[in-house]
Amino acid sequence: MDAKPPLIEQVRACQICADHLPFPPRPILQFDSQARILIAGQAPGKAAHRAGIPFNDVSGDRLRMWLGLSRDEFYDPTVVAILPMGFCYPGTGKSGDLPPRPECAPAWRGTLLDGLGQLELTLVIGRYAQAYHFGSTQATLTELVASWRQFWPEKVPLPHPSPRNNLWLKRNPWFERELLPEVRSRIAEVRAR
């Protein structure tokens, strides 16, 4: 009798929504059962799809700076798991990248999260991930991020680190002044265990 391949190989071979994707499926995720930190994001963009590497751009540079992690630390799957809501690039619509494919999270997310037995901190980026990890809410991004103490110390809502959010960052200086130092301390604490 054939044994099932390991979970991560099953994900990498996934074709569930292939008919709806602009390119053949290329799931972009980082996973190891030892990871204590999870970045829960939206879906890879075209650059991540091409490179096969998540957050390998200016948004990723800003995210690493926010978290106080080097590239080596960020891309060490035993330190950081990266699980977007949709693992494959969903394509682009009239107003930017399309939402994560809705088939993905029901197919894989629960099982992968169950496999993160050491998880201590989840950083949640983008409204689809925020709806999944915080439950559906009417709160705006600003309201949700401002209520970060409500979820502390297990989960933290973050804005997307894209340069498109520069204005948001300028309008909400408390984010970099108050929240980010706490996040960096928390990450250092989690990593020191």
Q: Does 186 participate in binding ligand SF4 (rule CB under 6 A)? A: no
Query: Which residues within the stretch 106-125 sit at the binding site for ligand SF4 (CB under 6 A)?
Result: 107
Judged by beta carbon, residue 109 or residue 127, the one nearer ligand SF4 is 109
Q: Please name the residues in contact with 29: beta carbons below 8 A apart, sequence gap of 6 or more.
A: 11, 54, 81, 82, 83, 84, 87, 112
Segment 138-177, which members bind ligand SF4 (CB under 6 A)?
none
Q: Given the structure tokens 């978290």, which residue do they identify? A: 67
Burial of 105 (0-12, 13-18, 19+ CB in 10 A): buried
**Smallest separation (angstroms) from ligand SF4 to the CB of 110:** 13
Report the site for ligand SF4 in 22-81 (rule: CB under 6 A): 25, 27
Q: Is 87 in the site for ligand SF4 (CB under 6 A)?
A: yes
Tokens 């204005």 correspond to: 167
Answer yes or no whether residue 18 interacts with ligand SF4 by CB under 6 A: yes
Quick check: bond before 100 cis, omega within 30?
Answer: no
Q: What residues make contact with ligand SF4 under the rule CB under 6 A?
A: 11, 14-18, 25, 27, 86-88, 101, 103-104, 107
